[in-house]
Amino acid sequence: MDHLEELKEFARLHAGGQGMTVEHATSVLARITGDAPGDPHSWAAVWTAEGRAAADRGDLLDACRHYALARFPHHGDAERRTAQRLCVDTFDQWRRGQNGIERLEFEHAGGTVACWAAGLDASRPLLLVMGGIVSVKEQWAPLLPLLRRLGFAAVVTELPGVGENTVPYGPDSWRMIGTLLDRLAGRARVGDTSMLALSFSGHLALRAAAEDPRIRRILTVGAPVAGFFTDEDWWPRVPGITADTLRRLTGSEDLAALRTLLPAFALTPQQLGQVRVPVRYVASSRDEIIPATEQALLLRTLPDVRFRTFDDVHGSPAHLGAMRRWLISQLLWLRFARPGPRPAPLAVLDGRPSGRR
């Protein structure tokens, strides 16, 4: 699959995840014939034009959706950097017309971490939401009013190197989570932190939870753990866009340098053995990015892990509604259920139990 076709394939997942109809996404993608800056039919130009049209008719959130796709998979050229700025600025314009959504900025490891937040109060448990290597925080921020109504102090942010996050992405990036909790102390009950950490941020959440007792529960979708970073047989199957995005985020000179670096990210059984909190994991049986061996490792090493597995590709784009319902229901059950014996590990395939109990 060539570069443009890969872009289009992955964009369908992210378009649907943001609430864009299949018909509209297909119509926009059909008008894109290249990815060269300056071409009016290029990826960034077409998506940005759609975003501007949405902004002109006053639909600011729809504009943000299109700008987020215009900078996809990362803001590596001038047109994508323009789209990234438009996405942030337009969302900022939208949230000023809402009640109680605020912007936060923190410094960490020589970079800046930007967040959108709602419901901040020292009496409320913290819910920290992060996306993966291609997802900007503006994609998740419209959930903030709902999360606030559910009783959380909710904060959405980005993986290091993604969107406005200028912190380099590396094996120690998990430490950023502890810095965020430190800085949010007094504005949320950080000692009762839940993490909704999708894809590669799920990896950070697991590593951070091994060290930080303030993290009390983790919900994730398609998170790499160890095999993704170390399995030489798996890596030739990893999509080129994923490899190129990781190369850019880590600052690796080329693919060979990236492959040399990646094993340092892998979580060891000893580290996973220190994760004593509930973990809820959405897996995809046809995931083209994350190997199935990650689930087996988690089942061996975590005391309380449950899976919901869909017959789908990475991120389960054809099951977004069911996936979200399961994640939110698990979050609320874990947050409000009375303490008791930890359940045995359970795998679920499209709602049906499978694997060992």
pLDDT tens figures, 181-213: 999 999 999 999 999 999 999 999 999 999 999
The pLDDT assigned to 34 comes to: 92
What residue spans of the chain are helical by DSSP H? Answer: 3-17, 22-30, 43-56, 60-70, 78-95, 144-149, 175-184, 200-209, 227-230, 240-250, 255-261, 269-273, 293-301, 320-336
Each residue's pLDDT tens digit, 241-284? 999 999 999 999 999 999 999 999 999 999 999 999 999 999 99
Each residue's pLDDT tens digit, 28-41? 999 999 998 889 99
Comparing 75 with 130, which gets the higher pLDDT? 130
* pLDDT of 1 above 70: no
Nearest residue to 152 via CA among 115, 195, 113? 195
CB 80 within 8 A of CB 44: yes
Cα–Cα distance, 307 to 310 (Å, whole number)? 10
The pLDDT assigned to 317 comes to: 79
Bridge-partner residues for 281, per DSSP? 220, 307
Residues in the chain: 357
- Whether residue 73 is preceded by a cis peptide bond, meaning omega within 30 degrees of 0, is yes
Sequence-separated (6 or more) residues with CB below 8 Å from residue 42: 32, 33, 34, 35, 36, 79
* pLDDT of 175 above 70: yes
* pLDDT of 107 above 50: yes
- Positive or negative CA dihedral for 168, 95, 81, 64? positive
Question: What does pTM read for this prediction?
Answer: 0.92
* pLDDT of 346 above 90: no
Comparing 14 with 2, which gets the higher pLDDT? 14
Of the pLDDT bands very low, low, confident and very high (cuts 50, 70, 90), residue 344 is very low
* pLDDT of 347 above 70: no
Each residue's pLDDT tens digit, 291-323? 999 999 999 999 999 999 999 888 887 888 899
Give me the mean pLDDT over the 19-47 stretch: 91
Write the burial class of residue 261 (CB in 10 Å: 0-12 exposed, 13-18 middle, 19+ buried): middle
Cα–Cα distance, 61 to 69 (Å, whole number)? 13
Mean per-residue pLDDT over the chain, rounded = 91
Decide: helix, strand or coil at residue 192.
Answer: strand
Helix (H) or strand (E) holding 118: strand 111-118
Cα–Cα distance, 281 to 305 (Å, whole number)? 7
The pLDDT assigned to 76 comes to: 85
**In this structure, are strands 305-310 and 346-349 parallel, antiparallel, or unpaired?**
parallel
Of the pLDDT bands very low, low, confident and very high (cuts 50, 70, 90), residue 2 is low
